[in-house]
Structure 1
Amino acid sequence: MTVTAEFFTFLTFTAIIMAHHCKAGAIESPLFVSRAALPPPTGLSFEWVDAFTVNVSWKKPSGLQDGDVWYKYRLEHTKSDVCVKSRNFSETLFTGEAGSGNWTYFVWTVEHCHSLDERTKVSIFIQIPKARAEMKDIKCIITRTSEMNCSWIPGNPLNTPLKLSYRICGLIKPLRECHQPYVGAGRNGCYLTADGVKNDICVSSETHTGLSTFQIAPMIDPPELSIGEEGDELKLSWVHPTFGESCSWIYRVCYKKCNQSEKCDNHLTKGEPVVMPYDKSCRYEFSSSVKTDHYCKTVFSERGKVVSYGTNEPADKTLTVVAIVLPVILSICIFLSCYCFRRHSSIICPVIPDPSAIFKEMMMNGNKELKTKAGSLYTPVPEPIESCKVNVVTDNIAVPLIS
């Protein structure tokens, strides 16, 4: 009986612990969802407040009161959810960020913002107000602290004239039109009165048939590069912009040395010159660009004009001459030596007969020579005979006799 009571007590204690553990796990688990799905949002609609801002709203879910639940929404192809109590939200959208010219948002009802229950998710399809206005290579350069020069290449001349308006992003205020419009060599532009360093500027470009919106990426003109020489080093320096005194600047220096391939290096500086080794026998060609570090708002420039320094000195040709001429001379000498040796080989290297062959030849041919000399008769040398010519005389003139 005692054993049975102890066993029953053990089972009861184990069941209580497991139930408590399961309850705690269900509360703490991020995968916990309510037993019954909440009603989904209905009647989703959107409205463009201005060229950049869209407002999405929906009706109260059936059977629920405002304040009883929360709502989550998320842009398609992103992973960040936003939780709100109201039945609407506003977002800033730019046409340059819409791959197909539209956006899709998901909205669903949740009990609390930590819930991962998406069973009530519904979608809404947001279209841009107009077709896109074609603009290419948009550049907005800071000319002064509170002014920027924006220029672009018109994508379609038929879309001109183009109206450019702007405002500070995040503030629902009337748009301002840019002033002093101009048309240059292949580029159009105008001036914006806004501080692009302290504020994010939203820009709208609109034609009769199209609309494009974007956020300005502020640029500056490439800083002028100065080059100085000190010993075996070069010192590169620039005049920093008049803004961003507390920022560090990253200079990207690209250079060619002695017509070699281009090399690029990044240098972080707050005003001190950049030092690099210098080969005085080479001509250097430098070009540089600059941007702020990641602690400041991104402001950048394009690559500036090429700055040259030094000259390419002619290389010492002594070694080249020695390396080329000496092998040629040596080859000629070897060729002539071989030729002379081959032509006069009989003199330089005569054929030495075998002594045994010489002795044998002497033994065999010696007796023959002696016999020939002993048996030969003396043959006198014939004397020259003078011819005598006789002239015949026909007259009776006494002719002395020639004895």
Structure 2
Amino acid sequence: MCRFWDLTLMICFSVSVMFVGGDNTSELPPPKNLTFIWETPFRLSLTWEKPEDLDHSCRVNYTVNVYNSQDCSGEIETRKVQTLGCKLNISNENGLCISVLTNPENCEQRDNSQPTNISIAPPSVSCIHELVVNLCFRLPRYESVKKCKPDETMKTRGCIIHDEYLKDTMNIFYLFNGTYNGTYVINTFTDKRPVEYVKLNKPQLTIHRDGQKLLFQANGSDLDEFAKECYSYLYTISKCNKNETAELKKCQHEVQYDPACKYRARVQVIFSHNCGAGRSDPSDEVEYGEDNDPKLPALLAVIIIPLIVSFCLLVSLVLLRRHKDIIFPKIPEPSLLFKDMLINNIRTPEELQIRKAINGLSYGRLIGSGYLVQGLGNIGPGVLLSCRD
């Protein structure tokens, strides 16, 4: 029984110690006297003092939060430092809010401090189109500021920045200064990294046939400036007036060839989101093949074959009419045939002989009341045959 009470007392004591220890945790004091100064139009220098009432044995560091607005909201940039100050490459386009808080490193039972904030107002004029300005820029790898020379070919006021390190630059700082209603103004701003605005040259598209496949090949003069995985290719192909699109990671695209269709194609090079953003203009349209209706042969057969048959039939009728006597000779009427046979049967042998001779003559002429027959008959030339009634 005693052991049970002893165990209960030990548990209660341990729980009490845990709660008492938790109540002793306190926050560190915040930094003092946070100030700033612009060393250059792009570089902000922050300084502060060590917090008060900080034990010598307590080691701390500091967290600096930078907001691109005056009310400490929106996008935030955070960094940790060991020193009592830091320098920031930043623009003041929309104003800034900066907070610094103290963090414990080896301080027992101490939490982060409350932040110390400072607000920086933007310039009174920030619209570049209302200013008579000089536009300059600075890359992070350079300390100096370069003046941007205007490009007369551009529709709006601006310039083209040429630098071999642009594609590796994370951001560019811009500076403009000038006068507005007789007052001198200055401001800075920054934007996304240059590879977020890549403008690729317009590619060229070629089409050629390989057996039963049709190959589409995209070529460009600037497709080797970045790694191959940074590019994708958007093909727009019209096959028999039906559009199809395909986005590929390779510059060559192949489809099954249909000889009955005409192909029209374009290609656009897109800078992949893994490397940045941007794209080219679509290439010129390229055509291949001719449109052929698959039902056309059957339709032609239905139309042409009857025409050919009709023409042949018409020619046959004309030829048949022209040579009908040869193709179909005249046959004597049966009544005349039987009558002639009857007459031949009642003639005498002498008449038959004379008839045969007459049939063998070449010509004859009429003399008086009879026929003068000349030729090579059996009765000889110059024989006068009398004509019977």
Smaller-chain TM-score bracket: 0.5 to 0.7
2 CA distance for matches of 1:227 and 1:248? 22
Sort the Cα spacing of 1:213 and 1:252 in 2 relative to 1 into closer, same or farther, 3 A. Answer: same
Any gaps of 5 or more consecutive residues in structure 1?
Answer: 27-31, 135-155, 322-403
The match for 1:183 is 152
Query: Secondary structure of 1:10's partner?
Result: helix
CA–CA distance in structure 2, aligned partners of residues 133 and 249 of structure 1: 35
Paired position in structure 2 for 1:49: 39
Matched, 1:253 2:234: yes
How high is the sequence identity, in percent, across the aligned residues?
11
- Specify the alignment match of 2:118 in structure 1: 124
1:206 positional shift: 0.9
Does the 8 Å CA contact 1:39/1:120 hold for their aligned counterparts? yes
Matching residue's letter, 2:215: L
What amino acid does structure 2 have at the position aligned with 1:290? I
TM-aligned CA distance change 1:119 to 1:249, over 3 Å: closer
Q: Which amino acid aligns with 2:270?
A: V
Match of 1:217 in 2: 194
Q: Which residue type is aligned with residue 191 of structure 2?
A: F
* CA displacement, residues 146-196 of structure 1 (integer Å, 9 cap, x when unaligned): xxxxxxxxxx3x5345322222x2x471222345x4212514424423421
What pairs with 1:2-401 in structure 2 (closer than 5 Å)? 3=1, 5-15=2-12, 18=15, 22=18, 35-64=25-54, 68-74=59-65, 75=67, 76-77=73-74, 81-94=78-91, 101-112=94-105, 117=111, 120-129=114-123, 131-134=125-128, 156=129, 159-167=131-139, 169=140, 171=141, 173-178=143-148, 181-187=150-156, 188-208=158-178, 209=185, 211=187, 212-218=189-195, 219-229=198-208, 230=210, 231-239=212-220, 241-245=223-227, 247-257=228-238, 264-269=245-250, 273-280=252-259, 281-292=261-272, 294=274, 297-298=275-276, 300-310=278-288, 313=291, 315=293
Please state whether the residue corresponding to 2:6 is helix, strand or coil. helix
Query: What letter matches 2:39 in structure 1?
Result: V
**Counterparts of 1:81 and 1:116, CA distance in 2:** 22
* TM-score between the two structures when normalised by the length of structure 2: 0.57
Displacement, 1:267? 1.4
Residue 202 of structure 1 aligns to which amino acid in structure 2? I
Residue 317 of structure 1 and its aligned partner are, at CA, apart by 7.0
> Is the alpha carbon distance of 1:320 and 1:214 closer, same or farther for their aligned partners in structure 2, counting shifts above 3 Å?
farther
Q: Alignment partner of 1:125: what SS?
A: strand
**TM-score using structure 1 length:** 0.55
8 Å CA contact retained: 2:218, 2:267: no
With over 3 angstroms needed to count, the CA separation of the structure-2 counterparts of 1:59 and 1:263, relative to structure 1, is farther
Whether the 8 Å CA contact 2:206–2:218 is kept in 1: the answer is: yes
196-205 vs 62-71, which moves further: 62-71
Aligned residues: 278
**Alpha-carbon separation, structure 1, partners of 2:8 and 2:44:** 61
Secondary structure of residue in 1 paired with 2:8? helix
Larger Rg: 2
* 8 Å CA contact 1:223, 1:238 repeated in 2: no
Query: 1:78 Cα shift?
Result: 5.1
What secondary structure sits across from 1:47 in the alignment? strand
Structure 2 distance, partners of 1:301, 1:49, is 38
SS of equivalent to 2:165: coil
Deviation of 1:210 after TM superposition, in Å, equals 5.0
- Secondary structure at the aligned position of 1:189 is classed as coil
Displacement after TM superposition at 1:119 (Å) = 5.4
Distance 1:81 1:183, change over 3 A: closer
2:27–2:112 Cα contact (<8 Å) kept: no
Pair 227,111 (structure 1): closer, same or farther in 2 beyond 3 Å: same
| 3-state DSSP of counterpart to 1:40 | coil
Letter in 1 for 2:201: P
- Which amino acid in 2 is paired with 1:255? T
Q: Decide whether aligned partners of structure 1 residues 161 and 317 sit closer, same or farther in structure 2, where only a CA change above 3 A counts.
A: farther
**Aligned residue number for residue 379 of structure 1:** none
Does the 8 Å contact 1:250/1:266 carry over to 2?
Answer: no
Question: How far apart, CA to CA, are the structure 2 residues paired with 1:50 and 1:259?
Answer: 63
Residues 69 and 111 in structure 1, CA contact (< 8 A), matched pair in contact too: yes
Measure how far apart 1:205 and its partner are: 3.9
Question: What is the rounded CA distance, in whole Å, between the counterparts of 2:176 and 2:4 in structure 1?
Answer: 83
Give distance in 2, aligned partners of 1:7 and 1:68.
45
1:271-297 deviations in Å (ceiling 9; x for gaps): x62324455513423130232563xx4
